[in-house]
Amino acid sequence: MDILIDGRPATPEDLAHQALVNYGAYTSFRVENGAARGLDLHLARLDLAAIELFGESPGEAEFRRLLALAVVGRDKAWLRVSLFSPEIGHRNPSFVGRPKVMTVVSPPPPPLATQMRVTAVPHGRETPHLKHVATFGQTRVRRAARAAGFDDALFVDDQGHVSEGVTWNIGFVQGNRIVWPQAPMLAGVTQILIARGLAGLGLSSQTQPVHRSELAAFDAAFLCNSATPVCPIAAIDDVAFANDPALLARIETAWSAQPPQPIAIRDDDARDDDDGVSRLGR
């Protein structure tokens, strides 16, 4: 595991701050031959989180430079990119300015599972639209679910509406249609990539509220995140799903059809940036 902060080896002081102050955001993804699927979405996530949490963003060109530096010479890697500020602590939270960028490179992890049995749990992540580092609640809920004999937990609100899993999004299948829950949650990069590729496979998707009482009306369910493009959910509590492997393979094809995007910025991109045109979030 290699850790850089703003492109330089991490110091003990940097790591101590990360261990003691859990204020920040991150994103993580697989890198192959200097490229990553959904890189535009990961960059946009970092940019928006930096502005919301710190008041300033390093900008796309700097993010790309630091990401490319972190993975140089590696054919395959897992890259976690975190934002933090040593000026922000429990007693002094008021700093506004550009955050530091920590890159952590490690071997790509295996998928979460080949299938899962999950339990619906009343829970919601704090500030759910951000992929932030405050993960105590998620870890506690996952531990409780596994202690109860399940593989993981699915969050529902106090009205029983489904939102997201502990570290994943959920999709439901109804015929040739994918239904994504409408609720406060993190917009998953893998979820968006799947939705982008469905039309070419004769599938469609829509977002709508999903109540736990409606789960039996769906043909199948699956989870997705950057490490696990598609994993069937065999059951949610006592509601079992007859997942069709061929259909789930089509959904994974929708994801894999989205080509990896090079991390290193191209010369024409740099010229566009010099002209004051932001390419982030297009």
Alpha carbon distance 166, 125 (integer Å): 9
Does residue 237 belong to any structural domain of this protein? Answer: yes
| End position of a domain, from candidates 87, 106, 125 | 106
pLDDT confidence band for 265 (50 / 70 / 90):
confident
Q: Which amino acid is at 257?
A: A
* Residue 183 domain flag: yes
Q: Which DSSP helix (H) or strand (E) runs through 195?
A: helix 189-197
Residue 69 lies inside a defined structural domain of this protein: yes
Amino acid residing at 159: Q
Q: What range does the domain containing 164 cover?
A: 116-256
Residue 38 neighbours by CB distance under 10 Å: 23
Assign residue 51 the CATH number of its domain.
3.30.470.10
Compute how many other C-beta atoms are within 10 angstroms of the C-beta atom of residue 27: 20
Q: 43: closest CA among 62, 30, 56?
A: 62
What is the structure's pLDDT at 200?
A: 85
The reply to whether 8 falls in a domain is: yes
CA–CA separation, 141 and 133 (whole Å) = 16
Q: Which two tokens stand for residue 49?
A: 């989180």
Overall domain count for the chain: 2
Supply the pLDDT for residue 248: 95
- Enter the DSSP assignment of 214: G
Share of the chain above pLDDT 90, in %: 90
Q: Is residue 264 part of a domain?
A: no
Nearest to 126 by CA among 163, 74, 159: 163
Give the pLDDT confidence of 232-248 residue by residue, as tens digits.
999 999 999 998 999 99
Give pLDDT tens digits for 104-119: 999 999 999 999 999 9
Of 82, 72, 104, 76, residue with least CA distance to 22: 82
Q: What is the pLDDT of residue 266?
A: 65
Q: Are residues 60 and 120 in the same domain?
A: no
pLDDT at 1: 83
> Would 214 be classed as within a structural domain?
yes
pTM (2 decimals)?
A: 0.91
pLDDT digit string, tens, across residues 138-172: 999 999 999 999 999 999 999 999 999 999 999 99
Q: Are residues 176 and 229 in the same domain?
A: yes
In sequence order, what are the residues at sequence separation of 6 or more whose Cβ sits closer than 8 angstroms to the Cβ of residue 141? Answer: 121, 123, 153, 155, 166
Q: Are residues 125 and 169 in the same domain?
A: yes
Pairing of the two strands 204-208 and 177-181: parallel
* Lowest-confidence region among 86-90, 201-205, 277-281: 277-281
